[in-house]
């Protein structure tokens, strides 16, 4: 299956950019990773770099998708951060969010993992099909039916490097369709977008570079946070999304050409 992708990463008004992005495309499998170092704790950039580097270094794109092996990649990233915490007291509280996507190119399957509040959105025929659920207090409150306007959306109960004894969240293995689109992004990005923005702009563009450029123009100029996004398109999303938005009459006319 053909894969096209694009990414952006910006410092915003912060003094540094603690977001890290990485990818690895092999003959049989592909891997896309995004990490956002936790602000307020020294070493967030180090934790994000360690997580990205560990996963991409361990990833073997010459083999087919293996969910258990992928869990091992994420565990190795978490362990690399904790090992550095023990070696350097100044970094003992460092941590990072993670969102990662793995694609089996031959069998056309996808699998993803996340920790914290960096997100993955999955679109099919131009519309949101599913998305990850943040490991945050705000998400828990929302799930319980409570208002979250007064809640700090950056309060996380899990991320890589944290002391909590738990694992990242993993998806089921998903059968892909031609035209499927994935968006990986940090909280600095998705805080400024809603699903309608993402769907409408996706149906207006013909490639991932155009989509991210359009979304970036929608970001406020005074954004105070780092923001990063990576768009991964499977097959030919433009054809799929355009066909899904045509009326029944248009479809008939098109099929008769």
| pLDDT one-digit tens code per residue, 50-90 | 999 999 999 999 999 999 999 999 999 999 999 999 999 99
Its pTM stands at 0.90
pLDDT band at 113 (very low <50, low <70, confident <90, very high): very high
Residue 129 CA to residue 194 CA, distance in Å, equals: 14
Which tens digit of pLDDT belongs to each residue from 236-247? Answer: 766 656 555 544
Residue 216 CA to residue 231 CA, distance in Å, equals: 12
Looking at residue 57, what is its pLDDT? 96
pLDDT band at 250 (very low <50, low <70, confident <90, very high): very low
Residue 226 CA to residue 13 CA, distance in Å, equals: 7
Which tens digit of pLDDT belongs to each residue from 1-60? Answer: 899 999 999 988 888 899 999 999 999 999 999 999 997 678 999 999 999 999 999 999
Strand-pair partners of 6: 231
Higher per-residue confidence, 136 vs 22: 22
251: pLDDT strictly greater than 70: no
Arithmetic mean of pLDDT, 149-167? 83
CA–CA distances in Å: residue 10 to residues 160, 186, 188: 22, 11, 10
To which residue do tokens 């996507």 refer?
Answer: 101
């Amino acid at each position: 299956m053909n894969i096209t992708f694009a990414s952006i990463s910006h410092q915003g008004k912060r003094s540094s950019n603690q977001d890290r992005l990485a990818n690895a495309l092999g003959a049989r499998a592909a891997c896309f990773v995004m990490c956002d170092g936790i602000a307020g704790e020294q070493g967030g950039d180090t934790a994000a770099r360690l997580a990205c580097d560990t996963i991409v270094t361990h990833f073997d794109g010459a083999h087919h998708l293996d969910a258990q092996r992928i869990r091992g990649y994420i565990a190795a990233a978490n362990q690399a951060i904790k090992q550095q915490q023990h070696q350097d007291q100044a970094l003992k509280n460092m941590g990072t969010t993670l969102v990662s996507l793995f694609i089996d190119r031959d069998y056309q399957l996808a699998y993803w993992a996340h920790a914290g509040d960096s997100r993955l959105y999955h679109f099919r025929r131009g519309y949101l099909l599913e998305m990850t659920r943040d490991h945050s207090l705000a998400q828990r409150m929302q799930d319980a039916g409570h208002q979250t306007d007064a809640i700090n959306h950056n309060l996380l109960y899990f991320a890589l490097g944290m002391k909590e004894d738990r694992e990242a969240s993993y998806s089921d293995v998903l059968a892909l369709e031609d035209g499927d689109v994935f968006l990986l992004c940090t909280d600095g990005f998705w805080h400024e977008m809603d699903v309608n923005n993402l769907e409408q702009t996706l149906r207006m563009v013909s490639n991932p570079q155009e989509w991210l450029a359009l979304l970036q123009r929608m970001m406020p100029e005074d954004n105070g946070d780092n923001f990063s996004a990576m768009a991964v398109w499977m097959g030919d999303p433009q054809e799929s999304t355009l066909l899904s938005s045509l009326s029944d009459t248009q479809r008939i006319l098109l099929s008769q050409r």
